[in-house]
Amino acid sequence: MNNTFSTQSDPFESPLLPTPSENPAEVRRVFSLLGLAYAVLTLAHQLTAIACQYLLAFLAPAALSSWWVPWVLSIVPLYTVGLGLTWLILRKVPVSPHNTDHALNASAAVEKPPFRFGHWVVLLIIAFGCMTAGGLTGNIIMAILSAVLDYDYANALNTIVDQSPVWMTFIATCICAPLGEELLFRKLLIDRTRRFGDLPSILLSGLLFGLFHGNLFQFFYAAMVGMIMAYVYTRTGKYWWCVAMHAAINFMGSIVNPALVGLLPEDMMSFENLLQPFIYLFILIWQYGMLIAGIVLFCVLFSRRKLSRGPSPLYRENAASLMLGNVGMIAALAVMGLVMAINLWPMR
C-alpha cells in the first residue's frame, strides 16, 4: 500500500494518487468496535453507579447525604467496571505506532520536530481559553433552557465541589480524573485511530470526551479541551503531557477558581473589604485574558498546523460515514445522548 499525501491544507483532501487507505468494511469495523467500547463504558459507569447508590440506600441510607458519596459513585464504577469492560473490547482493535511525520506533499513528509515545554504552555493557554469559551456557551444555553422550562438547572460538578473538602476535590479532579480520562479518551482511543490520521483522532476524541460528561454545562468546554489534549497526544505520543495539562486545567477550575470565588460576597456590588475588588478583577482578567490569548494563539497555531495523514488516511468524502455511520458508534452517540437527555429532564 502506498503512503500518499495531499498538497492541500485540508487533511481530509483526497490523496493525489487514487490509492484506497484500507478496505472500507474493515475501517467501519474498527470504528464500530470503538463506538461499542465507549457505549459500554457509559452504560457500565451509569448502571454500576445506580446499583451502588441503591445498595448504599439499603445498607446505610444515612450515608447518602455524605459529601464523599458522589465522588465514590463517579470514580469507582468508571475505573473498575467501566474501564475493565472497555478494555476487553478495545483489545480487539490493533494499536498503531505513533505518527512521527507531518504530511507535506504527495511524495515527501518531514519528521515532527521535538515537542518542548514551551509548546505545552502555549497549548495550555489555548485550553484555558477553550474552558472560558465553552463554559460561557454551556451556561448561556442552560440559562435559556431554565427560562424556557421554568426550571433552575444547577451544575452538578460545582455543587459537589462546593460541598467537598479541598483535599478530596484535589484527589478526584487533579489526580484521578487526569490519569483515568486521559487513558480512556486519549491513549486507548487514539492509539487505535491514528493510523487513519491525526485529524480524525482529534475530532473523535474530543467529541466522545465531551459527550461522556453527560451535561451541557460541561459538554462544550470538555469537547474543545479534549481536542486540544488529543492534539498534544497525536503530536507527541506521550500520555504524561496530556495528564499534566488535564491536571493543570482542573486545578485552576476546581481548586483555585472556587477558592477565589468563595472569598467574594454574593452581591458583587457589596464588597466587604479592599481585597475583594482586586480578587474579582483578577478573576475577570484571568478568564477573559485567557480567552483572548487563547483565540490569538489558536489562530496563529492553526495557520501553521501540520497534521499527519497516517499510513491509512481517510478520504474527505467518506470520512464521516466511515467514522460515525456504523452500529457501534451510533450506539455510543445514542447512549451518551440519552444520558444527557435524562440529565436535562426537569426533576420536579
| Tally: H helices and E strands in the chain | 15, 2
Amino acid identity for residue 29 in this structure: R
Q: Does residue 54 have a pLDDT over 50?
A: yes
Q: How far, in Å, CA of 156 to CA of 163, rounded?
A: 11
pLDDT at 12 over 70: no
Higher pLDDT, 312 or 31: 31
The verdict on pTM exceeding 0.95 is: no
* Unique residue bearing C-alpha cell 485567557: 290
Tell me what pLDDT residue 309 has.
Answer: 85
User: Above 90 in pLDDT, residue 99?
Assistant: no
Cα separation, 16 vs 66, whole angstroms: 61
Alpha-carbon distances of 73 from 144, 169, 222, rounded to whole Å: 30, 14, 20
pLDDT in tens, 26-47: 999 999 999 999 999 999 999 9
CA distance 302 to 241: 20
> Residues 125, 289: contact at Cβ < 8 Å?
no
Over residues 252-269, mean pLDDT: 87
Q: What is the pLDDT of residue 130?
A: 96
**The pLDDT value given to residue 348:** 61
Q: Residue 201's pLDDT is what?
A: 96
According to the model, what pLDDT value does residue 107 have?
A: 56
What is the reported pLDDT for 104? 54
C-beta separation of 30 from 93 below 8 A = yes
pLDDT at residue 11, as a whole number: 41
Q: State yes or no: pLDDT of 3 exceeds 50.
A: no
Q: Give the mean pLDDT of 84-95.
A: 95
Mean pLDDT of the chain: 88
Query: pLDDT-derived band of residue 21, with 50, 70 and 90 as boundaries?
Result: low
Give the pLDDT confidence of 235-259 residue by residue, as tens digits: 999 999 999 999 999 999 999 999 9
Q: Quick one: which of 224, 239, 192 has its CA closest to 38?
A: 192
Q: Domains of the chain: which residue ranges?
A: 24-97+118-344
Element at 25 (helix H, strand E): helix 24-59
